[in-house]
Amino acid sequence: MTMHPTSFAFLLAIGAVAAAQVAPVTLMRPATPDKAPAPDGFIQRWLVLEPIRANGLTDSAVQAIVKKEYFPNQFTVIPHDGDKVTVGDTQLTWHAEDTRLYNLNLYHFAHALDKPTTNVLFWALTLVNCPREMPGVRLAIGSNAASVWWVNGQEVIGIYGDRQTVIDDGVSKRLTLKKGQNIIRAAIVNGGGATDFCARFLDQDDKPLKGYTVSLNEVRK
């Protein structure tokens, strides 16, 4: 059988579209209670809330977006996997996720749940368990696009604009991780296209911090 070149190209195009609709699997449910950071320091376990509609990437727009209260105890709650919140008239669910990569791909996350990825706000949270007090460390993050980060309730990083994830793009001032549980909370605002984030701590020599684990409150879904 001979195939007209135009027809062949058409079939290839169909195949490419079909392939594009299958998102790579980079996320999985946590299988252990605790997880050490990756060898290069990246935190790979997070609770992520399904996306909230939001629009704006400038400094002031992002600050307004993340400071708006969408659900009760937004800046203090430590949710469980499967917990639900109602934002407007939409019920959203928290999901415990382990990423296989240095970053957590929010596009994969939302796409797999058939949720929007454009003009959205993601909330993410993880618990950092330190065997001792760790002074002089820095939280170092990258995000696509803008993001604001809190450690133990203190806002420590804000990066703005339509930007791609770059390792250690935003870095906090020196801070102290207390002995026991510490909370990292993040709000990532995406405009369009890909969206993801990465985060790790740096030690006093700007090397990846080790010697701690991350966990989620309780995996019960």
Partner 1 sequence: MKYALLATALVAGSIALALDGQVGIHDPSTIVLSNGKFYTYGTGGNSLVSDDGWTWRRGTALPRRGLAPDVIHIGDRYYVYIAANIGAQPKAAVNMIWSKTLDPDSPGYKWEEGGVVASSNGVEDANAIDPGVFLDPNDGRLWLVYGSYFGYIRLVELDPKTGKRKDPNDKPRDLAINCEASDMIYHDGWYYLLATHGSCCRGADSGYNIRMGRAKKVTGPFLDREGIDMIQGGGKLFVGSGGRVVGPGHFGLLDLGDGVQKFSMHWEADLDRGGASVLDIRPLLWKDGWPVAGGNLNPGTYEIESVRTGTALELSVEGMPVGGRRARGGGGGPGGAGAPGAAAPGGAPPAIGGPGGGIFAGTGAPIPEQDVAQVSKNWPTGNIDVRMANYLCQAQQKWTIAAAPNAGGYPGSPYFKITIAGTERALAATADSELVVLPAFTGAAEQLWRIEQLPDGAWRIMPKVVPNSNQPVALSAVGSSFATLSRFDPKSDKQRWSIKTP
| Nearer of residues 136 and 211 to partner 1, judged by Cβ | 136
Distance of CA 130 to the CA centre of its chain: 21
Task: Please give the Cα distance from 113 to 206 (Å, whole number).
Answer: 37
Residue 78 found at the interface with partner 1 (CB under 8 A) = no
Segment interacting with partner 1 (CB under 8 A) among 69-77, 79-87, 119-127, 164-172: 164-172
Task: Please give the Cα distance from 11 to 111 (Å, whole number).
Answer: 25
Out of 59, 133, 207, 211, point to the residue binding partner 1 (CB under 8 A): 59
Segment interacting with partner 1 (CB under 8 A) among 71-79, 106-114, 158-166, 181-189: 158-166
> Structure tokens of 75?
């800046």
Segment interacting with partner 1 (CB under 8 A) among 1-9, 82-90, 172-180, 211-219: 172-180
> Structure tokens of 125?
């949270």
Site string for partner 1, 176-215 (x = CB under 8 A): --------------------------x---x---------
Can you tell me whether residue 113 is helix, strand or coil?
coil
Supply the minimum distance, in Å, between the C-beta of residue 68 and partner 1. 14
Neighbours of 168 (CB within 10 A): 17
For residue 123, the cross-strand partners are 187
Neighbours of 23 (CB within 10 A): 14
Supply the minimum distance, in Å, between the C-beta of residue 167 and partner 1. 8
Supply the minimum distance, in Å, between the C-beta of residue 149 and partner 1. 12
Q: Which residues contact 176 (CB under 8 A, 6 or more apart)?
A: 133, 134, 135, 136, 137
Q: Site residues (CB under 8 A) for partner 1?
A: 56, 58-61, 64, 138, 140, 159-160, 166, 168-174, 202, 206
